[in-house]
Amino acid sequence: KATATKSKSSNKQQGSVYVPKPVPDILKTAKSQLSMVVLGHVDAGKSTMMGQVLVQAGYISKREAGKKPMSWILDENEQERERGVTMEIGTKTVRVPKHDIVLLDAPGHADFVPIMITGAANADVAILVVAANTGEFEAGFDGGGQTKEHILLARGLGVTQILVAINKLDMEDWSKQRYDEIQAKVKSYLLQQQFAPKRIRFLPLSGLTGENVKSRNDSKLSAWYKGPTLLDAMNDFLPAKRQLEKPFRFGITDVYAEGKGVVARGRVMQGFVEAGERLVVLPIGDVVTVNKLEHLQPPTTDDNDKNAFKRLSIGMAGDTVELVLSGIELVRLSVGSILSNPNARPPLTKKAKAKVFILDSVTIPIIRGARVMFHMQSLDIPATVSKLIALTKGGGEVIKERPRALSRNSSAIVEITLNDKIAMEQFSSCRALGRFVLRRSGDTIAVGVIDELL
Ligand code: GDP
């Protein structure tokens, strides 16, 4: 018996058995929350479009917006970044009837790719903005543009629903022919990358004039387009699977001391939590108690429901919350730590088999033994690409076993060995702890998902 216990040491220290908590009714009926990343080539019109969404959905007054170019509304974060202020990803929520959509910022400039990836790594769904005007679409799609890379990134990180906004169609006099041409090209590429046909949607747009954001006023467009507006299409996203019945997991993105408590800010990855519960901090193993919980992006609740307050006292999968903890000192907690149900912990692992996609910007191929930084959630751990197992197609079909090197724009199965053990899981069991990014000398070189813990 002694040996059996020993060999299973790390994950079962508590000796207690995990009993799933019944999911409260208020969570079963809770409004869907989606995190959305906006992708697309630089200048495709991402900021303009999202600024327009915020205005037309009533979050900013037109007067307020009118004072500055539309794109500034979202670029304020960018200026903060330049001043060295920590950027907070996901600070804006757009409420549509079916979902609370949290916008993850995704600047298109090449040097912002790492930030974009951090955003995309938490995304449930994506909007890809492409500029329809002559020359610009072609530059963004073919000539070294970022459109394809962003599609591959989204795919590599496990985003399955994608809405393609064919923007700046006002510059093409709302030409159906141009719209069809672009749609055909982008669609064929998305299908090639194994996006499911049902999860790909297209719509014509002008972020600048606001046409087809919430309504259509231009008869040239209404003459041939009868589909949803952008806000309707956002409403039509499918809800993300929230895994409420699975054990609680929380990724810490910020920690600070407040009064007598320690505050951990972050996102609930799966399950749900309430004040009074005990959690384990991973990888260190300390046990803490949640004294208080506060929502940073309060979910929409039904004012007529007298139990609605209950929803606000619970942090469920998808929610961004602050947890006030006792039983631990601030120095013991760090960004990247995971809080978990103590009786059903994610395994602490050093070695894993993973599917990776090598980015287009990689000029030096990746060989066996390559030293990289492994970035998962908010953690950075030095690691080695310890085996090149196979070169694959985007969907996973093996093209070649044991390749000598991985060059840009290729997909592969590799073994990765980390310098330290961290909490991770198979992507199929926990999306948030199953997707990662690899960096080399500060550059992002690959994105991937964990297939198997070794
Ligand atoms: P981003 O880099 O993708 O965020 O692009 P921006 O939102 O900053 O837009 C880039 C430029 O394209 C700006 O000068 C915008 O005014 C212009 N623009 C954006 N959307 C449209 C549109 O729908 N129609 C036209 N004509 N111009 C647009």
39-84 pLDDT per residue, tens: 888 889 888 888 888 888 876 655 555 544 444 445 444 444 343 3
CB 78 within 8 A of CB 90: no
- Which residue spans within 275-319 are E strands per DSSP? 278-282, 287-295, 314-316
* Closest Cα to atom 14 of ligand 1: 43
Identify the DSSP state of 111: G
* Closest Cα to atom 28 of ligand 1: 208
Query: How far is the C-alpha of 18 from the C-alpha of 16, rounded, in Å?
Result: 7
Calculate the alpha carbon distances from 173 to 169, 176, 213, 238 in Å. 7, 9, 17, 32
- Band (pLDDT 50/70/90 cuts) for residue 121 is low
* Closest Cα to atom 18 of ligand 1: 45
132 alpha carbon – ligand 1 mean position (Å): 11
User: pLDDT at position 284, please?
Assistant: 94
| Whether the CB of 210 sits within 6 Å of ligand 1 | no
| Whether the CB of 150 sits within 6 Å of ligand 1 | no
Query: How far is the C-alpha of 176 from the C-alpha of 185, rounded, in Å?
Result: 14
User: pLDDT at position 65, please?
Assistant: 54
Residues paired with 348 in a beta bridge:
423
Query: What's the pLDDT tens digit per position in 195-249?
Result: 899 999 999 999 999 999 999 999 999 999 999 999 999 999 999 888 899 999 9
178 alpha carbon – ligand 1 mean position (Å): 18
CB 212 within 8 A of CB 203: yes
Atom nearest to 206 CA in ligand 1: 23
450 alpha carbon – ligand 1 mean position (Å): 37
pLDDT at 312 over 60: yes
167 alpha carbon – ligand 1 mean position (Å): 8
CB 130 within 8 A of CB 270: no
| Whether the CB of 44 sits within 6 Å of ligand 1 | yes
| Whether the CB of 170 sits within 6 Å of ligand 1 | yes
| Whether the CB of 207 sits within 6 Å of ligand 1 | yes
- Band (pLDDT 50/70/90 cuts) for residue 1 is very low
Cα dihedral across residues 20, 23, 28, 32: positive or negative: negative
Reported ipTM: 0.99
Identify the DSSP state of 307: T
Most ligand 1 atoms within 8 A of CB, residue of 38, 39, 43 to mutate: 43
User: pLDDT at position 210, please?
Assistant: 95
Most ligand 1 atoms within 8 A of CB, residue of 150, 208, 218 to mutate: 208
106 alpha carbon – ligand 1 mean position (Å): 15
70 alpha carbon – ligand 1 mean position (Å): 9
User: pLDDT at position 341, please?
Assistant: 96
How many CB atoms are closer than 10 A to CB 247? 18
| Whether the CB of 206 sits within 6 Å of ligand 1 | yes
76 alpha carbon – ligand 1 mean position (Å): 16
* Buried residues in 28-60 as b, exposed as e (16+ CB within 10 A): eebbbbbbbbbbbbebbbbbbbbbbbbbbbebb
Choose among 159, 124, 321: nearest CA to 239: 124
| Whether the CB of 212 sits within 6 Å of ligand 1 | no
- Which residue spans within 108-223 are E strands per DSSP? 125-131, 161-167, 200-204
Query: How far is the C-alpha of 10 from the C-alpha of 285, rounded, in Å?
Result: 9
pTM of the model: 0.79
204 alpha carbon – ligand 1 mean position (Å): 14
Average pLDDT over residues 261-284: 93
| Whether the CB of 167 sits within 6 Å of ligand 1 | yes
Most ligand 1 atoms within 8 A of CB, residue of 48, 75, 172 to mutate: 48
User: pLDDT at position 84, please?
Assistant: 30
* Buried residues in 397-412 as b, exposed as e (16+ CB within 10 A): eeeeeebeebebebbb
Atom nearest to 171 CA in ligand 1: 26
CB 39 within 8 A of CB 128: yes
419 alpha carbon – ligand 1 mean position (Å): 44
- In terms of DSSP bridges, do strands 32-39 and 99-104 run parallel, antiparallel, or are they unpaired? parallel
* Closest Cα to atom 11 of ligand 1: 43
| Whether the CB of 110 sits within 6 Å of ligand 1 | no
Average pLDDT over residues 376-403: 90
